[in-house]
Structure 1
Amino acid sequence: MNAPPRLPGQVGGDLRYLLNDFARTPGVRHAVLLSMDGLAMLWSDGLGRDTAERLAALTCSALGTGRALAKEVGESDQRGGQLICQFPSGGHFVVGAIGMTAGIGVSVEPGANLPAVVNDLQRLIGGVGARLAPQPLHAPGGGQA
């Protein structure tokens, strides 16, 4: 089994905190942060590595399907978006894109307040996306960053 992609120490610690904080949202079972090649980078506490890796691969596939659907219906912005799967039990699985570089999959319990979960997920995606974005090599004006 391959090792998960490694995140720089401070970034990885920040993201783990953000992910676990989000996973405490009422109704969220667990969450997994993945690279766009389907590898689990981080997952919420209590989720085993094997399950996280399977969810990451499936989430990556769902993101690809969502982007293909967006293109077919004329959506020009392929960087983001969400897909929500609802199951007969009332549970949901929410897939969110983090730009073109990463994604997140979230398992939601039956009866959870889905709008509240999605709202918190949007805040998480904003925070995660800012930390995953490449840092500029040069500061504005031509100097070194």
Structure 2
Amino acid sequence: MTGPSRLPGQAGADLSFMIDDFARVPGVRHVVLLSMDGLAMLWSSGLERDSAERLAALTCTALGTGRALAKEVGERDGRGGQLICQFPSGGHFVVGAVGVTAGIGVAVEPGAPLPGVVNELQRLIGAVGARLAPSPLMAGGGIA
């Protein structure tokens, strides 16, 4: 079960289910879904709230670095895509942007099948992004 959700109603329940499901991918240690201001919205079980908050803040920083790097290499929209950090132990940390509204950070066990984790993360990002996208009414649109 994921940590407490900061998302209301059905959206929070759907995303909680998705985070729990992704956390069962072989080699995934921890997952945190965060807002673009660095607040943890959901996280995988086994991750304490304080750790989730720190991981969210660090992931937010990595996403900002990714956006800056994207601009330097010519990405027109300035989105960072994914960043992968590899550590001497063989573990990885993968950061992904979920549109412009959120991000996901994933701690990966040493020796884990990284291509499989990244492939599943891309699926998760697509599914989460679809649920976090603001409706036209929330985005300032109106009914004509």
Moved over 2 A (4+): 77-80
Answer with 14-23 or 76-85: which moved more.
Answer: 76-85
The match for 2:26 is: 26
The match for 2:53 is: 53
Q: Which runs of 5+ in 2 are unaligned?
A: none
Deviation at 1:14, TM superposition (A): 0.4
Q: In 1, Cα distance between the equivalents of 2:50 and 2:13?
A: 21
- Name the SS for the 2:93 alignment partner: strand
The match for 1:94 is: 94
Say whether 1:67 aligns with 2:86.
Answer: no
Q: In 1, Cα distance between the equivalents of 2:45 and 2:136?
A: 32
Alignment-mate amino acid for residue 38 of structure 1: G
Q: In 2, Cα distance between the equivalents of 1:98 and 1:49?
A: 21
Alignment-mate amino acid for residue 96 of structure 1: G
Identity among equivalent positions (%) equals 80
Q: In 2, Cα distance between the equivalents of 1:99 and 1:80?
A: 10
- Name the SS for the 1:137 alignment partner: coil
The match for 2:122 is: 122
Query: Structure 1, residues 41-70: CA drift from partner, whole Å, max 9, x if none?
Result: 000111110000000000000000000011
Deviation at 1:80, TM superposition (A): 5.0
Count residues with an aligned counterpart.
138
TM-score, with length taken from structure 2: 0.90
Q: Which runs of 5+ in 1 are unaligned?
A: none
Contact 1:33 1:40 in 2 (8 A): yes
The match for 2:42 is: 42
Query: Structure 1, residues 115-139: CA drift from partner, whole Å, max 9, x if none?
Result: 000000000000100000011239x
Q: In 2, Cα distance between the equivalents of 1:7 and 1:86?
A: 31
Alignment-mate amino acid for residue 107 of structure 1: A
Deviation at 1:77, TM superposition (A): 2.7
Q: 1:143 to 1:37 in 2, by over 3 A?
A: closer
Contact 1:22 1:124 in 2 (8 A): yes
Query: Structure 1, residues 8-35: CA drift from partner, whole Å, max 9, x if none?
Result: 2100010000001000000000100000
Deviation at 1:143, TM superposition (A): 5.6
Say whether 1:104 aligns with 2:99.
Answer: no
Q: In 2, Cα distance between the equivalents of 1:107 and 1:46?
A: 12
